[in-house]
Amino acid sequence: MAAAWQDVVRDAAAVREAAAVAVDAALLAGVLMRTGEQPHASDVVNYAPFTLLPSAVPRALFEQAYAVQQDFNLLVDAISQNKEFLEQTLASTIKVDDFTARLFRIYMQVLEEGLAQTVFLGINRSDYMFDCGQDGTAALRQIEINTIAASFGGLTSRTADVHGLVLRVLGKTEEASHLLPNNPAKGLALGIAKAWELYGSQRAVVMFLVEEVQRNIFDQRYVENELWNRNIRVIRKRFRDVFEQGSLDASRRLYMDGQEVAVVYYREGYVPQNYDQQNWEARLLLERSRAVKCPDIATQLAGTKKVQQELSRPGTLEKLLPGRPEAVARIRATFAGLYSLDEGEEGDRIAATAIANPDRFVLKPQREGGGNNLYGEELKQVLEKIKDSPERTSYILMDKIKPQPALNYLLRAHSPLQVSECVSELGIFGVYVRQGQELVLNQAAGHLLRTKAVEHADGGVAAGVAVLDTPFLV
């Protein structure tokens, strides 16, 4: 998968010049983040980290990832409506993982009361790496699917322009013209707008549920502004605002200080640290409401690592998507080996295998946002410690994907310019809207390429490891 720029990557003078152009182009294009020092204000901003050069991505795998996205949308939507499956799959996890258990309790509570919500909006991002086989061929392997707060669809809507300019500065005009346009922000906004419209109240607003610290606000603004441009009002609120100002009327319409809310778009609420007692109460209020939650609590649960692992069991996809053998085959073709660590013989066996071969696996807890997985020696130590305790059940094991590295420069504010061996992760955004039982929208909405230096086992742009990139199809 050698990129087309192995000739320039070692030309120090050309790289320095291109990097200076690249950084200013990112600022001009709006590839921005608030700074760590001033995360609450936009008075001082900097560019979001990105690669100097677009990274090579095999065209066939890129197309495969797009082609399976509508299937994944269907699958997530089906899981979110399958109480029996969620109950069975998460039964062991919720005994030991308090966060998943609390989400699950809210799920059961809203089901018992009866759902007031009739319109459903899913925005997800299915992430992949390109596994390099013994013979050198690469295969598309899903890392995970994010069903809540999948980010960077906004900022990445601008990275192709930046990389196009960099390639031109480096004399690669032909290659620059081949970079694909990409605008996930527009696709996400389209889904939100559709859900808003089906909710059916002109006066109602879209509420972005945001974090206390909003460093990545510009990423969200891209989606927000698309909505304003469609004359849909947007408000930004935190859980704590919902606790203080939120209420339901008799038909469980959601109001914030008297203003009706049609859609709640979560960009928060996916890790335990997002919740104190008040925030849990706010979450319950939102879930009980008639407002379209993106995602509703069932869809958030559908995105857990435990569900992902159970999907890989023979026969599970067929049960969840009856009568759709082609979709099942496309989905399954992207799966890496996934293993349950539930108590019993199956779990004992795979735990022993992983302890003996820690570099073949990744150990994953039920967490999101990067920086939680365990690899190598650490994986071995932790598994040895918990292998005979029920705590084991809160993790899953996954085959480690081994992509072919390529040279690139990771541009980060206040960091020296140096060449790194890098690997990339491709995400495809999916958007769907369901009204009652009818799926009225089901689309792939664009892509995100994130690249990191090989010395980091884990990823994540927000976690400070990966940076934004643009695929160059080869």
Cα-based distances in Å from 136 to 2, 139, 253, 404, 456 = 12, 10, 56, 9, 22
Q: From CA 375, how far away is CA 384, in angstroms rounded?
A: 13
306 is annotated as an active-site residue: no
Q: From CA 472, how far away is CA 214, in angstroms rounded?
A: 31
221 is annotated as an active-site residue: no
Site string for ligand ADP, 398-437 (x = CB under 6 A): xxxx-----------------------x------------
- Asked if omega into 405 is within 30° of 0 (cis), the reply is no
Q: Which of 364, 380, 392, 434 is catalytic?
A: 364
Output the CA torsion sign for 253, 258, 262, 266. negative
143 near ligand ADP (CB under 6 A): yes
Q: From CA 236, how far away is CA 200, in angstroms rounded?
A: 21
Among 82, 245, 353, 372, binds ligand ADP (CB under 6 A): 372
229 is annotated as an active-site residue: no
348 near ligand ADP (CB under 6 A): no
Burial class (CB in 10 A: 0-12, 13-18, 19+), 459: buried
Nearer to ligand ADP, 165 or 383 (CB): 383
Nearer to ligand ADP, 98 or 244 (CB): 98
Among 77, 211, 310, 368, binds ligand ADP (CB under 6 A): 368
Nearer to ligand ADP, 39 or 369 (CB): 369
Total chain residues near ligand ADP (CB under 6 A):
19
Q: Which of 80, 92, 125, 288 is catalytic?
A: 125
Q: Which of 337, 369, 376, 464 is catalytic?
A: 369
Binding positions for ligand ADP, 306-335, rule CB under 6 A = none
Nearer to ligand ADP, 227 or 426 (CB): 426
Q: Give the 3-state secondary structure of residue 209.
A: strand
368 is annotated as an active-site residue: yes
Question: What single string gives the DSSP state of each residue in 336-405?
Answer: PPEEE--SSHHHHHHHHHHHH-GGGEEEEES--SSS--EEHHHHHHHHHHHTTSGGGGGEEEEEPP-PPP
369 is annotated as an active-site residue: yes
158 is annotated as an active-site residue: no
Q: From CA 227, how far away is CA 249, in angstroms rounded?
A: 26
Catalytic positions are 125, 144, 146, 151, 305, 364, 368-369, 450
Interacting residue ranges for ligand ADP, rule: CB under 6 A: 127, 143-144, 336, 362, 364, 368-370, 372-373, 398-401, 425, 458-460
